[in-house]
Structure 1
Amino acid sequence: MHYVDEGHGPLVLLLHGYPFLWYLWRNQIRAVAASGYRVVAPDQRGYGQTEAPDAVAAYDITHLVGDVVGLMSALGEKSAVLVGQDWGSPVVFNAVLMRPDLFRGVLMMCSPPQARGPVPPLATMRAALDQKGLDFYQEYLGRPEIAQEIMRDLRSFLLGIFYSTSGCCPDDEQWRSMWTKDEKFFDTFTVPQTLPSYLSRQALDYYVNEFSRNGIGPANKWYAAIDRGWEVTSFLDGATVKLPALFLTGERDPSLKPLFGIDRQGPAFESLTVNFPNMREIITMPGVGHTPPEEKPDDINEILLRFLNDIEVSARQPN
């Protein structure tokens, strides 16, 4: 597993989502390390310079959690605070459910994690989508042939997703997680003529070059393995996270908007304080989209350090 490791002190693990890399956290790593923490940001399984197994089953949530636990062991660490954005949030959630003994707290961004339900996660969505004649990005990206479609114009895909999910994108150009059958996937986002203000050409080039290593297919297998992950985690039914938690989202994150009368994220938001009874704070950042670490790095550093410092202060207090 490829990772960036800076600083000394209590361990903080930063887990990116899709389609990102350890590089998402480049503005947090140095700031948090300078404040007395050891900060590690990996390329998760199938991304960047980390191994990319062929089998879809190798990307179910138990393997993704196993990567986190294995990384901690390789680092010689026995405790960490987990931070996750987008797909990083469900990895964080499941890691602390499976191994609460290894973690001191959790901070999640953008994608509210959902507890294990009575049916596979995509099953309910699939029924609703079929009734309305819609495609849904999680199902779509999980199809083997879609990676080739994306790789034919990787730069436009990444630039379009980064822009259309950001807070600087106008409402009528925002990415849509669902679309009608007569549309194409590339119709669901806007490729801007110029780079968004928060994204440098150097950053875009880095993402394009790294995803060109193994293609985007391995990262897409996370979606293909969603229901497989449900099948192998029945032992998590009813489990909650007792650790200190913080959830952060952007006010203009299009992934949270209901579409076609389907509010797929609403129930997850409503259950946050049930799944995390020690939820310290739920923060909505004005004018921010789906990538707070990229869009508002200084604000994220402030929020993250405040949360980390509170955890360390609480840990030193007598019971």
Structure 2
Amino acid sequence: MEQGTGPLVLLVHGFPESWYSWRHQLAALAAVGYRAVAVDVRGYGRSSKPDGVAAYRMLELIEDNVAVVHALGEETAIIIGHDWGSSIAANSALVRPEVFTAVGLLSVPYAPRGGPRPSEVFSQMGGEEEFYVSYFQEPGRAEAEIEPDVRGWLAGFYAALSGDTMPTSGMPNPHFATRGGTLRERFPTGPLPFWLSQDDLDVYAREFERTGMSAALNRYRNMDRDWEDLALWDAAPIVQPSVFIGGALDASTTWLADAIDAYPVTLPGLVSSHLLDGCGHWIQQERAHEVNQLLTGWLASLPT
């Protein structure tokens, strides 16, 4: 989806979403003189869905972003991502700095490649419970949970990570499953988050009902492969102008608090970093107006 004219801003979504996650940002960026383009990441929505898990490795997604920039008749772009899109945007800026001149990161902080193999880290999380990233690894397993009722699963997943509907302290953590259980067992069963209408949910559900979940889940199944592919960039900083916006209630910002603290080293071009009180994971939808103000202010600060 595209709105506006001017310098190109590429918007990259995460899991389990689509270009539609940026519906509140497209007009706001266009209004201040940018060509805002929200893509369906490979494997989602109307994008291509090649066979094989390895087709969804980070290096392939980086080159997809480069190809989009060139297909739009441009040589460079500003890139902004949310959730997995934040990691895709960060690595796009890291690996192809001649194309991506500035980077905005939403919800998931930048943490340079390094440390142990990711699967080893995730397998040690949760003790007797299973971390959701580990749960997603086996092809077909999460699909068997989600695909019989895509709409219901998405509703629960969005609610589980939204600031107004997430489980309160002391309740079972929806990022983990019991051994042999499902993630959905821990999702809230009440109303939808305030930012998600029935019509919005329909948009997401229809796309995943049409495509299935495997291509989207394959992103998680490439984390060890990414760790190997990106060895050349071990511990590398992103030097372009950057901004980070996270939700104070989002597990991504609490678990990765050390990554945020390391920004003076890992993001030396950081213009500003923000944690929004009371906000969960779906930040550009939960706090659309505030995020739009922060993004447009950051864009205005960039060199022309």
What is the TM-score normalised by the length of structure 1?
A: 0.89
Equivalent residue for 2:154, pick from 150, 158, 183: 158
Runs of 4+ with deviation above 4 angstroms: none
1:181 is aligned to 179
1:260 is aligned to none
1:169 aligns with 2:160: no
C-alpha contact (below 8 Å) 2:247/2:253 kept by paired residues: no
1:40 aligns with 2:40: no
User: Within 2, Cα distance between the matches of 1:306 and 1:79?
Assistant: 20
- Displacement, 1:170? 4.9
1:296 aligns with 2:287: yes
- Displacement, 1:179? 3.6
1:120-159 CA-partner distances (Å, limit 9, x unpaired) = 2222232x238x2331111212221221321111111110
- Displacement, 1:102? 1.2
Q: Which amino acid counterpart does residue 297 of structure 1 have in structure 2?
A: A
- Displacement, 1:174? 8.0
Q: Alignment length, in residue pairs?
A: 301
- Within 5 Å, which residues of 2 pair with 1:144-293? 144-145=139-140, 146-172=142-168, 176-181=174-179, 183-192=181-190, 194-257=191-254, 263=255, 265-293=256-284
2:14 is aligned to 17
User: Within 2, Cα distance between the matches of 1:287 and 1:118?
Assistant: 31
2:49 is aligned to 52
- Displacement, 1:175? 5.4
User: Within 2, Cα distance between the matches of 1:20 and 1:163?
Assistant: 14
1:134 is aligned to 129
User: Within 2, Cα distance between the matches of 1:239 and 1:195?
Assistant: 40
User: Within 1, Cα distance between the matches of 2:61 and 2:262?
Assistant: 23
Q: Per the alignment, in what secondary structure is the counterpart of residue 101 of structure 1?
A: coil
- Which runs of no fewer than 5 residues in structure 1 stay unpaired? 258-262
- Displacement, 1:305? 0.5
Identity %: 35
Q: Per the alignment, in what secondary structure is the counterpart of residue 107 of structure 1?
A: strand
What is the TM-score normalised by the length of structure 2?
A: 0.94
User: Within 2, Cα distance between the matches of 1:276 and 1:106?
Assistant: 10
C-alpha contact (below 8 Å) 1:142/1:222 kept by paired residues: no
C-alpha contact (below 8 Å) 1:177/1:255 kept by paired residues: no
C-alpha contact (below 8 Å) 2:11/2:36 kept by paired residues: yes
- Displacement, 1:92? 0.9
1:86-144 CA-partner distances (Å, limit 9, x unpaired) = 00111111111111111221110111122111432222232x238x2331111212221
C-alpha contact (below 8 Å) 1:22/1:43 kept by paired residues: yes
- Which runs of no fewer than 5 residues in structure 2 stay unpaired? none
